[in-house]
Amino acid sequence: MPVSYREIAAELRQQIIEGRYQPGDKLPRLTQLQEQYGAGYQTVRSAITLLEQEGLVVAIRRAGTIVRERPERRRITRSRQVYRDDRGYYFDPTAQGWVAVSISAPTWGSPPVDLAAVLGVAPTAEVLIRARVMGDPQTRAAKQLALSYLPADVARGTRLAEADTGPGGIYDRLEEMGYGPLEWSESVSASMPSPEEVHLLGMPADVGVPLLRVVRVTTSPSGRVVEINDTKMSSEEFEIGYSISRSPSAELGGGGRDPA
């Protein structure tokens, strides 16, 4: 039975993972792969395309297929706490030193469909959108995109809709408006970046690197959702970490499951 492009890609992928091909190394040329696997040109081309989409290699015209250099991942530790310093609120120590390297003026528009229901509004409803690109204060390199969505009846005609919301930012303003003490919950997922997100984060445009997506929901004591923050960052550069505590049921003699 002829070998498939997925089988060729799987073998090459394993060789990259095992370090037989290091970052910067060239894979065999397509003609060599054809001979090695007894496969046609389109089959080996499809295998290389699959590895490109996974972000493992990049095909350079007249240079061949190169194993990609990948940045060292930094861990963002979510300790389930909210912090504050003299600049305002932050939700993980890694991001404390980051600054807004690009700030868009607040706008009014529709929220993403998946967030509209959480906000309690129709997908076509108008909400306040505040967008920032956060990054390194020295290099100005972008690290994450942060968009906040606030219901119109909460934000319209208030300082929340102004470019400068003052010390403590929108969270202090919301608490001053009677929505505090605020509470937060968040979820972590992944999504593929749009062309605009690739550009804003300085990600490689020719490989399929997904984004880590952290959606944080801000609620008042009554349970009213007063803001949603949608933060995205490269999964190639960051990972989400957290500590695990032991439940009383997992303590020695704590009434766990009986051994089989």
- What does the domain layout of the chain look like in residue ranges? 5-67, 74-241
Under DSSP, is residue 117 helix (H, G, I), strand (E, B) or coil?
helix
CB atoms within 10 A of CB 176: 13
Per-residue pLDDT of the chain (260 residues; tens, 9 = 90+): 789 999 999 999 888 887 889 888 999 999 999 999 999 999 999 999 888 887 788 888 888 899 988 766 666 666 566 777 767 777 766 666 778 888 789 999 999 888 999 999 998 899 999 999 988 888 888 989 999 999 999 999 999 999 999 988 999 999 999 999 999 999 999 888 887 888 899 887 766 788 999 999 999 999 999 999 999 999 888 888 877 778 788 877 655 555 55
Structure tokens at 144: 């994450």
pTM beyond 0.75, yes or no? no
- Superfamily of 74-241 according to CATH: Chorismate lyase-like (3.40.1410.10)
pLDDT value for 258 = 54
Q: Check if 5-67 and 74-241 are the same fold.
A: no
Dist CA 169 CA 164 (whole Å): 8
In CATH terms, 5-67 corresponds, of 1.10.287.130, 1.10.10.10, 3.40.350.10, 3.40.50.2300, to 1.10.10.10
pLDDT value for 106 = 95
Q: Which letter does DSSP use for residue 178 in this model?
A: I
Q: What is the amino acid identity at position 69?
A: E
Dist CA 152 CA 127 (whole Å): 5
Q: Which residues contact 249 (CB under 8 A, 6 or more apart)?
A: 255, 256
Q: Cβ(133)–Cβ(100) under 8 Å? A: yes
For helices 41-53 and 5-17, the axis angle rounded to 10 degrees is: 50
Phi, psi of 5 (to 5 degrees): -65, -30
pLDDT value for 74 = 67
Dist CA 118 CA 145 (whole Å): 20
Give the largest CA-CA distance in the chain. Answer: 72
Q: Which letter does DSSP use for residue 189 in this model?
A: E
Preceding peptide of 28 cis, ω within 30°: no
